Amino acid sequence: MSNKILITGASGGFGKLMTLTLLEKGHTVVAAMRGPEGKNKAIADELTTAGAQIVEIDVTSDDSVKQGVEAAGTLDVVINNAGVGVIGLQESFAPEDLQKLFDINVFGVQRVNRAVLPAMRERGAGLLIHISSLLGRMALPFYGPYNASKWALEDLAESYRVELSGV
């Protein structure tokens, strides 16, 4: 069975790999990224050639998420993959640094989910996948802000699991 899958953060790393792998398995993939006509044009062109539909989504923007999800159309699966990492002494990070990190790693997931869930609820079907990290379950020194963002994502995902299970 082929699914239509939206992957955020498809311009590199796991996102690009997931996009190419799912296309090879026969799925329809909507690869979401920032700057598909700018800094990520080469990757967008590569993924388009491989068969992906490209949409521009900046997960830190409500309007961008809304427009990108609308352009994607009806979705069966959403993979919240967009994320960023940091390393260093926690005390060296300004509050604004943590806000930027959480805006992508946590609030970005919430923005995407809020955009896709009404249609999934209406259809009574859909799957949300959140790409997290082992550091969302354990703490390592020098990764404090990243750990905190992934711990928050883990709890957000658990809360969604319960709320969306119909229990």
Separation CA 122–CA 153 (nearest Å): 25
- For residue 132, indicate whether it is catalytic: yes
- Environment class of 130 (CB within 10 Å of its CB; exposed 0-12, middle 13-18, buried 19+): buried
Find the catalytic residue in 16, 143, 149, 150.
150
140 with 86: CB under 8 angstroms?
no
19 with 31: CB under 8 angstroms?
yes
- For residue 150, indicate whether it is catalytic: yes
Find the catalytic residue in 11, 16, 133, 143.
11
Find the catalytic residue in 132, 133, 143, 149.
132
Sign of the CA dihedral running 56, 61, 64, 66: positive
Find the catalytic residue in 133, 143, 146, 149.
146
Q: Which residues contact 82 (CB under 8 A, 6 or more apart)?
A: 8, 9, 15, 32, 57, 59, 104, 108
- For residue 66, indicate whether it is catalytic: no
- For residue 149, indicate whether it is catalytic: no
Query: What φ, ψ does residue 124 adopt, rounded to 5°?
Result: 75, 25
Catalytic residues: 11, 132, 146, 150
